[in-house]
């Protein structure tokens, strides 16, 4: 089942280009046309005021996308959260908690308390580890969690994770991410492709962030921006660069030097929305990856997975495994011996016109 889901995601994203993939895509085109009609009708009802978004007393900044899969929402959310912390602005992070037990319920917690990824999901568990003394609201009913946080914790700023399609909730600022390495998938809407909305929906965005710009040449980025001008004023488009900020031992959390990895026989594994972005980042930093194992996004690691990974260490495939922080929060603490697995920590930063970007955020928050 995991292989089927991974293959289907590769077809939707356009990463898998075979005759069989093309045939499957065209079989799904009628469903995509129906989906497009439903999305267009829903957007029309909101635009015409027939459907109305609920408002809260605080400020809401949404971080979303128009495709499924990974565009870098978690590191961008962390970047915004750290900016708010640096200005001592009280805020909370809101998330649906996709594929977690909290998705159908509700949980409000502070990161000072220990929380398991089995309860809130891998992305929120990762953010909670990195953001000290921060409030989180996880669950499908975001307004319910907002009311709890406003009434009990006096929080007035909310970072809405994956909120571009959550139009039931009014937001003060819509930030939409496009992955430069694969901005539009195969060009189709769900289920034939991975677009959640047509590109014309980008007109609703206050800012478009093109993430992972290091994966494209200046000419390719210029061409992408030229195509986006049809929907978004270029002054609202910003580039975001991803970099390896730290490497550390999974077993001990001790730092690992990048130069050490250049001498090791490495293999990579991950279960993220855009697995190619991980191996591309490693390669860009001079790290040779002999083999890469891809699991489903939000994959829950089982004993059989650990057996597979350990076999790679013993059969000569590699002498060091590399994985992402998002995957690391789901691995058992005693899963790997010292020196056998390292975690790659990434960070993002606005690559140009950074002062203008942060000025827009400060303006909407009136701070």
The rounded distance, in Å, linking the Cα atoms of 109 and 345 is 24
All residues at 6 or more sequence positions from 148 whose CB lies less than 8 Å from its CB, including other chains:
106, 108, 137
Give me the pLDDT at residue 367, please: 62
Q: Using an 8 Å Cβ cutoff, are 108 and 149 in contact?
A: yes
The rounded distance, in Å, linking the Cα atoms of 327 and 138 is 19
DSSP string, 285-334: TT--EEEEEE--TTPPP-HHHHHHHHHHHHTTS-SEEEEEHHHHTTS-TT
Full pLDDT tens readout for the chain, 367 residues: 566 777 778 888 888 888 888 888 889 999 999 999 999 999 999 999 999 999 999 999 999 999 998 899 999 999 999 999 999 999 999 999 887 888 888 899 999 988 888 889 899 999 999 999 999 999 999 999 999 999 888 899 999 999 999 999 999 999 999 999 999 999 999 999 999 999 999 999 999 999 999 999 999 999 999 999 999 999 999 999 999 999 999 999 999 999 999 889 999 999 998 999 999 999 999 999 999 999 999 899 999 999 999 999 999 999 999 999 999 999 998 999 999 999 999 999 999 999 999 999 999 998 6
> Nearest 5°: CA angle at 294, between 292 and 298?
145
* Topology of the domain comprising 59-242+349-365: Rossmann fold (3.40.50)
Give me the pLDDT at residue 3, please: 62
Q: Among 207, 213, 268, 212, which residue's Cα sits nearest to residue 236?
A: 207
Q: Using an 8 Å Cβ cutoff, are 281 and 242 in contact?
A: yes
Give me the pLDDT at residue 2, please: 62
The rounded distance, in Å, linking the Cα atoms of 318 and 357 is 42
| DSSP collapsed to 3 states, 204-244 | HCCEEEEECHHHCCHHHHHHHHHHHCCCCCHHHEEEEEEEE
Q: Give the number of other Cβ atoms within 10 Å of residue 44's Cβ.
A: 11
The rounded distance, in Å, linking the Cα atoms of 120 and 138 is 7
Give me the pLDDT at residue 269, please: 98
Domain boundaries, the chain: 59-242+349-365, 243-346
DSSP string, 167-187: TTB--SEEEEEEETTSSSTTS
CATH top-level class of 243-346 = alpha beta
């Amino acid at each position: 089942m995991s292989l089927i889901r991974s293959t289907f995601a590769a077809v939707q994203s356009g990463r898998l280009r075979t005759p069989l993939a093309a045939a499957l895509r065209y079989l799904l085109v009628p469903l995509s046309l129906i989906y497009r009609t439903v999305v267009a009708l829903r957007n029309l009802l909101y635009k015409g005021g027939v459907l109305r978004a609920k408002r809260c007393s605080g400020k809401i900044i949404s971080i979303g996308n128009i495709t499924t899969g990974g565009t870098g929402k978690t590191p961008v959310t962390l970047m915004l959260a750290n900016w708010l912390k640096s200005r001592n602005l009280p805020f909370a992070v809101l998330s649906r908690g996709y594929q977690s037990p909290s998705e159908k319920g509700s949980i409000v917690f502070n990161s000072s308390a220990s929380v398991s990824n089995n309860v809130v999901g891998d992305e929120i568990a990762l953010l909670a580890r990195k953001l000290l003394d921060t409030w989180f609201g996880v669950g499908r009913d975001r307004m319910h969690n907002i009311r709890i946080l406003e009434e009990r914790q006096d929080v007035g700023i909310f970072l809405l994770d994956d909120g571009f399609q959550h139009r039931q909730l009014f937001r003060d600022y819509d930030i939409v991410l496009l992955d430069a390495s694969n901005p539009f998938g195969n060009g189709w809407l769900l289920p034939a492709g991975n677009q959640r909305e047509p590109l014309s929906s980008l007109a609703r965005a206050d800012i478009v962030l093109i993430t992972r710009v290091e994966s494209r040449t200046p000419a390719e980025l210029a061409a992408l921006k030229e195509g986006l001008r049809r929907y978004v004023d270029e002054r609202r488009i910003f580039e975001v660069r991803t970099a390896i900020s730290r490497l550390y031992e999974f077993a001990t959390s001790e730092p690992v030097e990048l130069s050490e990895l250049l001498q090791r026989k490495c293999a990579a594994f991950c279960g993220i929305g855009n697995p190619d972005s991980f191996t591309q980042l490693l390669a860009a930093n001079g790290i040779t990856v002999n083999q890469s194992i891809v699991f489903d996004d939000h994959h829950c690691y089982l004993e059989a997975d650990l057996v597979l990974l350990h076999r790679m260490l013993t059969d000569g495939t590699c002498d060091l495994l590399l994985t992402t922080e998002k995957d690391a929060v789901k691995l058992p603490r005693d899963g790997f011996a010292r020196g056998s697995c390292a975690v790659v920590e990434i960070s993002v930063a606005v690559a140009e016109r950074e002062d203008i970007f942060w000025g827009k955020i400060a303006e909407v928050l009136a701070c």
